[in-house]
Structure 1
Amino acid sequence: MSDPRVRSFQITPDDLEAAQLDELIREIEHKSLFYYKEKNKSLRARYVYGTIFLIINLCAWFIRDYAQKALALLPYVSSCGPEGSHCFHTLGVLRVSLGCFIFFLVMFLSTWNTMKLHQAQNYWHSDYWTFKFFLLVSAMVASFFIPQLYIQIYGEIARVGAGIFLGLQLVSVIEFITWWNNYWMPNNQSKQSCSFGLVMSTVFYIGSVCGIAVMYYFYAASTACTLNIFFISLTVLLLVIMMVMSLHSKVNRGLLSSGIMASYIVFLCWSAIRSEPSNTKCNAHTQNGHADWITILSFLIAIGAIVMATFSTGIDSESFRFRKDEAKDEDDIPYSYGFFHLVFSLGAMYFAMLFVSWNLEHSAQKWSIDVGWTSTWVKIVNEWFAAAIYLWKLIAPIVRQPRVHEQPQPTTTQVSRQIDEVNFP
Structure 2
Amino acid sequence: MEGTANSNADRYAKLMEGSWWTQFRRGSNPWMARYVYGLMFLITNLLAWAVRDYGTSTEMERLKGCHGGKDCVGTEGVLRVSLGCFTFYFTMFLSTAGTSKLHEARESWHSGWWSAKLFLMIALMVLAFFVPSAAIQLYGEIAHFGAGVFLLIQLLSIISFIKWLNDYCQSEKYADRCHIHVMLLATTAYVVCMLGIILMYIWYAPEPSCLLNIFFITWTLVLLQLMTSVSLHEKVNAGFLTPGFMGLYVVFLCWSAIRSEPPEERCIKEAEAATKGLWLNIISFIVAVIAIVIATFSTGIDSKCFQFRKDETQAEDDLPYGFGFFHLVFATGAMYFAMLLIGWSAHNDMKRWTIDVGWTSTWVRIVNEWLAVCVYIWTLVAPIISKSRQTTPA
Pairwise same-fold verdict (TM > 0.5):
yes
Segments of 4+ moved more than 6 angstroms: 25-29
Question: Is the partner of 2:212 in helix, strand or coil?
Answer: helix
* Larger mean Cα displacement after TM superposition, 210-219 or 43-52: 210-219
CA contact (8 A) 2:63 2:129 kept: no
Answering whether residue 84 of structure 2 is matched by residue 107 of structure 1, we say: no
Q: What is aligned with 1:144?
A: 129
Give, as a single letter, the amino acid of the residue that structure 2 aligns with 1:239. Answer: L
Give, as a single letter, the amino acid of the residue that structure 2 aligns with 1:50. Answer: G
CA contact (8 A) 1:89 1:363 kept: no
Q: What is aligned with 2:19?
A: none
Question: Is the partner of 1:68 in helix, strand or coil?
Answer: coil
Summarize the Cα distance change of 1:29–1:158 in structure 2 as closer, same or farther, 3 Å threshold. Answer: closer
* Larger mean Cα displacement after TM superposition, 332-341 or 398-407: 398-407
CA distance in 1 between counterparts of 2:61 and 2:263 reads: 35
Answering whether residue 356 of structure 2 is matched by residue 404 of structure 1, we say: no
Residues 190-246 of structure 1 deviation map (CA, whole Å, 9 limit, x = unaligned): 444212211211110011111111111111121111111111111111111111111
Question: Is the partner of 2:126 in helix, strand or coil?
Answer: helix
Which of residues 329, 337, 356 in structure 2 aligns to 1:370?
A: 356
Cα-Cα RMSD: 2.4
Point out the structure with max Rg over C-alpha.
Answer: 1
CA distance in 2 between counterparts of 1:304 and 1:66 reads: 20
Q: What is aligned with 1:53?
A: 41
Which of residues 331, 335, 343 in structure 2 aligns to 1:345?
A: 331
CA contact (8 A) 1:275 1:372 kept: yes
Question: Is the partner of 1:328 in helix, strand or coil?
Answer: coil
Give, as a single letter, the amino acid of the residue that structure 1 aligns with 2:229. Answer: V
Q: What is aligned with 2:13?
A: 36
Answering whether residue 114 of structure 2 is matched by residue 126 of structure 1, we say: no
Superposition TM-score, scaled by structure 2 size: 0.90
CA distance in 2 between counterparts of 1:78 and 1:293 reads: 33
Summarize the Cα distance change of 1:287–1:154 in structure 2 as closer, same or farther, 3 Å threshold. Answer: farther
Question: Is the partner of 1:46 in helix, strand or coil?
Answer: helix
Summarize the Cα distance change of 1:114–1:230 in structure 2 as closer, same or farther, 3 Å threshold. Answer: same
Residues 34-60 of structure 1 deviation map (CA, whole Å, 9 limit, x = unaligned): 243578611100000000000000000
Which of residues 291, 307, 311 in structure 2 aligns to 1:305?
A: 291
CA contact (8 A) 1:35 1:331 kept: no
Summarize the Cα distance change of 1:146–1:181 in structure 2 as closer, same or farther, 3 Å threshold. Answer: same
Aligned residues with identical type, % of pairs: 49
CA distance in 2 between counterparts of 1:86 and 1:144 reads: 16
CA contact (8 A) 1:274 1:285 kept: no
CA contact (8 A) 1:181 1:256 kept: yes
Give 1:315 deviation, angstroms.
0.4
Give 1:396 deviation, angstroms.
1.1
Segments of structure 2 that go 5 or more residues without pairing to the other structure are 17-22, 24-28
CA distance in 2 between counterparts of 1:281 and 1:86 reads: 24
Q: What is aligned with 2:229?
A: 244
Q: What is aligned with 1:356?
A: 342
Answering whether residue 257 of structure 2 is matched by residue 257 of structure 1, we say: no
Summarize the Cα distance change of 1:187–1:391 in structure 2 as closer, same or farther, 3 Å threshold. Answer: farther
Give, as a single letter, the amino acid of the residue that structure 1 aligns with 2:391. Answer: V
Superposition TM-score, scaled by structure 1 size: 0.84
CA distance in 2 between counterparts of 1:45 and 1:186 reads: 34
Segments of structure 1 that go 5 or more residues without pairing to the other structure are 1-24, 408-425
Residues 289-309 of structure 1 deviation map (CA, whole Å, 9 limit, x = unaligned): x96221111100000000001
Q: What is aligned with 1:19?
A: none
Residues 108-162 of structure 1 deviation map (CA, whole Å, 9 limit, x = unaligned): 1100011111111001001111111110011000000011000000000000000
